[in-house]
Amino acid sequence: MKVSIIVAVSKNNVIGTKAGDIPWELPKDLKHFRDTTHGFPCIIGRISLEAFGDLLPNRFNIIVSSKKEFINIREKIAINLPEYETGITEKGAQYVIVKSVKEAVDYAKDILKTDLVYICGGKGIYEDSQQYSHELIITDVDVHIEENDVVIYNPFPSNDERNKWKVVNQIHHPKDHQNNLDFSITYYVKNEEILIDYKVENQN
């Protein structure tokens, strides 16, 4: 099973605000996220779920949280989750709640038996899942965010981490009348020898 991180970051590694907002408006990148993850299981944390305001539609949501109840942080109302037994919402969403990223990855592999799962945030989920990941899909937004109370995620906190990954594709999107910032979507895959080492380590 392939584990893929999908994230958008500013030039100074901001991924959002602590209030749950994304400090840019890029409809084209949002469409990229929706099209890429549509139909696949998505691993998300509590804060990201509450920022989204609802389950991601047409996806199996694997929620990493110690809590069982969630609040839409913009509208200050409870997010209504269906009973597990009823299965699917009107928007095609399903979910399960687990306690760790490892449990989430194992659930996707062993219970859902999927070939691909996406990591959709937030910061802690990204950081904890990077060791399990085979692919990074990073939208680099051409902006430096100076606001306070922002959330930082650096996919490459060290040269050692950066050297584990190689670029396989990059698509540049210049700003236009709907997207007011330049951005690039870069696809990275983990070096094969790193993947082999990781598999061996986990067999012991």
125 Cβ neighbours under 8 A, 6+ residues apart: 43, 44, 45, 48, 64, 101, 119
175 domain-assigned? yes
Residue 145 falls within a domain, yes or no?
yes
Residue 189 banded pLDDT, cuts 50, 70, 90: very high
Radius of gyration of the chain (CA): 17
Q: Residue 137: give the domain boundaries.
A: 2-43+101-203
The residues, ordered by sequence, that sit 6+ positions from 83 with a Cβ below 8 Å of its Cβ are none
Q: Does 194 map to a domain?
A: yes
Eight-state DSSP code of residue 142? S
Residues 66-102 pLDDT 10s? 999 999 988 889 998 887 645 788 899 999 999 999 9
Total number of domains constituting the chain: 1
* Residue 18 CB neighbours (<10 A): 13
Chain segment 118-151, per-residue pLDDT in tens: 999 999 999 999 999 999 999 999 999 988 899 9
For the whole model, what pTM was predicted?
0.92
* Percent of the chain topping pLDDT 70: 92
What integer pLDDT is reported at residue 195 of this predicted model?
60
- Where residue 107 sits, what CATH number does that domain have? 3.40.430.10
Question: What is the chain's mean pLDDT, rounded?
Answer: 92
User: Is 152 among the domain residues?
Assistant: yes
Asked if 52 contacts 74 with a C-beta cutoff of 8 angstroms, the reply is no
Q: What is the pLDDT of residue 44?
A: 98
